Structure 1
Amino acid sequence: MTTTGFDYTVTRTLEAPVAQVWAAWTRADQYGQWAHAEEVALDVRPGGAWSSVMVIPGGARVPLSGRYTEVVENKRLVIGMDVPGREELALMTVDLDADGDHTRITLYQTLDSAEERDQSEFGSNMLLDGLTAYLAAA
């Protein structure tokens, strides 16, 4: 795990209970709906693999894969992503904190360059925008 580098943190309060937010992140049928992903496979347990094909604006399809390194139900997911040309996983942590009927979600990563950080932060905000809209329609 990288301990020095370029960090970002994104925090939002979602108008949904923590169990609903957890299900959205850990159930393939739900994840695909809000994350603009197809062919989603999630084995949500430490060491479990995940994969999906992200459909980005404009229609380009980007295959992604990795494995979970930490899973604490309704609290934390540490998601590792395979990065071409890199031996270690790129880790993203998702922390959930219950606040009554709302959930505070925090995503954070440490990356190797400012450019990677900026791209990942942009992507995380897009993910949270999709999650927010999905939960509002549920």
Structure 2
Amino acid sequence: MTTEQRTAEGFSYTLERTLETPVAAVWSAWTTAESYARWAHAAPGSVEMDVRPGGTWKATMVTPDGGRFPLTGSYSEVDENRRLVIGMDVPGKNEPAVMTVELAERGADRTRIVVAQTCDTAVERDLAEQGTTMLLGGLTAFLTTAD
């Protein structure tokens, strides 16, 4: 399910999925550098994560055509197995782009994940939403094949 809206602060989107895996496995995939690199289209060895409020992260993402671009950011909220608020540094902007990831148990082996972000323009929102849709696809495939 996808929702889009324009707010006073900008243009936002929310993506929601139900994954057939426990919350702890989803949390681990999102917060462990080795796992994240495997599903998030990151260059091997490029992911570093200090998952705590004020901690930083970095990764070099690889596009389908082989292009590479480095990303950096920080964590402003970390509530294990429930919520991550992730800032992503954006060249030329004073404030990071902020993505919120919320997890909720849906029975013993199912997790509802909701990812939301607000962007400055509709174009930025559309690009961010496309990237997040790819991330969720990669996460779903990873969790389906993970041991």
Does 2:115 align with 1:110? no
Does 2:145 align with 1:137? yes
Cα RMSD after superposing both structures: 1.1
- Whose RCO is larger (CA < 8 A, sep 6+)? 1
Number of aligned positions between the proteins = 137
1:69: which partner in 2?
76
CA–CA distance in 2 between the matches of 1:111 and 1:47? 22
Does 2:25 align with 1:17? no
Runs of at least 4 residues of structure 1 off by over 6 A?
none
Does 2:39 align with 1:34? yes
Does 2:128 align with 1:123? no
CA–CA distance in 2 between the matches of 1:19 and 1:60? 32
Question: Which amino acid letter does the alignment assign opposite residue 25 of structure 1?
Answer: W
Q: Are the counterparts in 2 of residues 3 and 110 from structure 1 also a CA contact under 8 Å?
A: no
- CA deviation profile, 1:83-127 (whole Å, cap 9, x unmatched): 000011110000001111100000001110000000000000000
- CA deviation profile, 1:44-103 (whole Å, cap 9, x unmatched): 000100000001101000100000010000000000000000011110000001111100
- CA deviation profile, 1:12-70 (whole Å, cap 9, x unmatched): 00111000000000000000000011200000000100000001101000100000010
Question: Which amino acid letter does the alignment assign opposite residue 127 of structure 1?
Answer: L
- Give percent identity, aligned residues only: 61
Q: Are the counterparts in 2 of residues 97 and 105 from structure 1 also a CA contact under 8 Å?
A: yes
5+ residue gaps, structure 2, are 1-6
2:64: which partner in 1?
57
CA–CA distance in 2 between the matches of 1:42 and 1:119? 24
1:4 Cα offset (Å): 1.2
| Residue 51 (structure 2) aligned to one of 44, 53, 60 | 44
CA–CA distance in 2 between the matches of 1:3 and 1:34? 34
Corresponding residue SS for 1:8 = strand
Corresponding residue SS for 1:132 = helix
2:3: which partner in 1?
none
1:3 Cα offset (Å): 6.3
